[in-house]
Amino acid sequence: MNERESGGPGHDVSGHDVSDGYDYVVVGGGTAGCVLAARLTEDPDCRVCVIEGGPSDVGDENVLRLRNWINLLESAYDYGYTTTEQPRGNSHIVHSRARVLGGCSSHNTLISFLPFPEDLDEWVGMGCAGWDPVTVLPYRRRLQNTIVPVGEADRNPIAKDFVTAAAEALHVPVIEDFNRRPFPDGAGFFSLSYDPATNHRSSASVAYLHPVLDRPNLTLKLETWAHQLLPAADGRLTQVRVRYADGSTGTVRAERELLLCAGAVDTPRLLLLSGIGPANQLRALGIDVRADLPGVGENLLDHPESVIIWETHGPLPPNSAMDSDAGLFVRRDTTQPRPDLMFHFYQVPFTVNTERLGYPTPPYGVCMTPNVPRARSTGRLWLRSADPAEHPALDFRYFTDPDGHDERTIVEGLRLAREVAGTAPLRDWLRREIAPGPGIRSDEGLSEYGRRAAHTVYHPAGTCRMGAADDPLAVVDPLLRLRGQDGVRIVDASVFPTMPSINPMVTVLLAAERAADLITGRPGPTPEGSER
């Protein structure tokens, strides 16, 4: 590290102007940015600067202790983006985006799934050559995170009984390790990126950056917010305007490439503020158009879910990794190899949305959250103004797919959750159903409740999607290079052309590991026939 601030480890306070350039500038010290910074600085002659809008997570128990994740939502560690009016969904969802080193891997529950091979096959079918499962999945051998099934000491008895009841009621297998091989359905404890002995995260920052913070070729600019990309003298888009914590501004220059890793909200936001996006929208805001790229901000994806809540007979045993340690996957369409319905089982009553609808909050409770793995509703993101400080508009258009797939998935999920809850040994814990309540049984009633109580698992993606040269809405090519601009790549969930069926953090890690090879020209891991 070139210079350190007395306030904490890993802070850089070098000049606030273009006094020094770097080989690579990584915009966003989140899940992907940490991987790139660590991998690129393995070459001691390669100078890397990471620009991160939030503070360091080093030594911060609020962040490092996994079970504290729920207290990070809508806190000083959260940008807290709101959604636009959702006529068929819940308009009150706050989309938490992490404001801390490590990004959402320092903020989320660290549920860790390899993507299904078919998820990656879909990408290839959309023109993303080189992102097939035989190429991508072997990168799991390079991941530095400690990814393990929930530790035995963290396995709460009611979560164990949920797994048993789900397997019995729905005739699915109990899965000991969801990452051992692809699965069509099953119930079990999740794999998490954490240390079961300490409950500390094995986030991207902990796993990749903390061990290398003393590298002299690595510079972190924390509490530093990037708001505009600028061309250098050679015309390449390799400079970024930033605002520092003290309110001063400066420009940081990349001599090789800018690597945008700010996530599916802030990466397209940065492009739009820089005049790259749908030209008519930009002109209407008075932003000079640098490039008419109509796909920037389009294809906004998410994993929507709803909730069904039960009061328990009394308090639950206290042990847990992060209060949502077990889950369930169901395959309703047996012609397909992947599950099409997912449940998280929360060992706390998640009532943030049901209270708004007038439902009581039980003193003790649990819930299941039916989730749509491959939602067919897609939305868009756009700027409300040219003011960099104003949050963008996020319109996920939840439950608007024309064939009703997403709505139907939630309704069927609520029904299946009741079957699990009515099966021993889980039923012996439960006193009564709180929301939606046993009186709501029709498809129409369950749909109305399910959509109004819907929430997010905080998985926005797709807003700078990767695609072939003839894809009019593709923003990056399969080498992750920004279309029509020299010097910029995007490496985060915004490049996903479709949403992985499962929690996407590991897919981001794999993409970042692959991106490091694409950037440096290093060979990837040897393909394995067993990956398919």
Residues annotated as catalytic are: 459
* E strand residue ranges, 270-324: 276-277, 291-292, 304-305, 308-312
Q: For 446, list phi and psi in degrees, rounded to 5.
A: -65, -35
Q: Are 288 and 414 in contact (CB under 8 A)?
A: no
Q: Residue 221: count other Cβ atoms within 10 Å of its Cβ.
A: 24
What DSSP line would sit under 187-240, residue for residue?
EEEPEEEEETTTTEE--HIIIIIGGGTT-TTEEEE-S-EEEEEE--TTS-S-EE
Query: How far apart are the C-alpha atoms of 464 and 491, rounded to whole Å?
Result: 10
Query: How far apart are the C-alpha atoms of 15 and 310, rounded to whole Å?
Result: 56
Instruction: For residue 62, give the 3-state DSSP assignment.
Output: helix
Q: Residue 88: count other Cβ atoms within 10 Å of its Cβ.
A: 17
Q: Are 105 and 205 in contact (CB under 8 A)?
A: yes
Q: Are 369 and 391 in contact (CB under 8 A)?
A: no
Q: Are strands 48-51 and 218-221 parallel, antiparallel or unpaired?
A: parallel
Instruction: For residue 174, give the 3-state DSSP assignment.
Output: strand
Instruction: For residue 107, give the 3-state DSSP assignment.
Output: coil
Written as six digits, the tokens of 61 are 């128990």
Give the type of residue at 199.
N
Q: Are 131 and 478 in contact (CB under 8 A)?
A: yes
Query: How far apart are the C-alpha atoms of 299 and 53, rounded to whole Å?
Result: 25
Q: Is 159 left (phi over 0), alpha (psi -120 to 50) or beta?
A: alpha
Written as six digits, the tokens of 289 are 């158009």
Over the range 458-472, which residues count as b (16 or more CB within 10 Å of their CB) and which as e? bbbbbbbbbbeeebe
Q: Are 436 and 424 in contact (CB under 8 A)?
A: no
Q: What is the end-to-end Cα distance of the chain in Å, rounded?
A: 41
Percent helix, percent strand, percent coil in the chain, to nearest 5: 25, 20, 50
Degrees, nearest 5: CA angle 507-513-515: 100
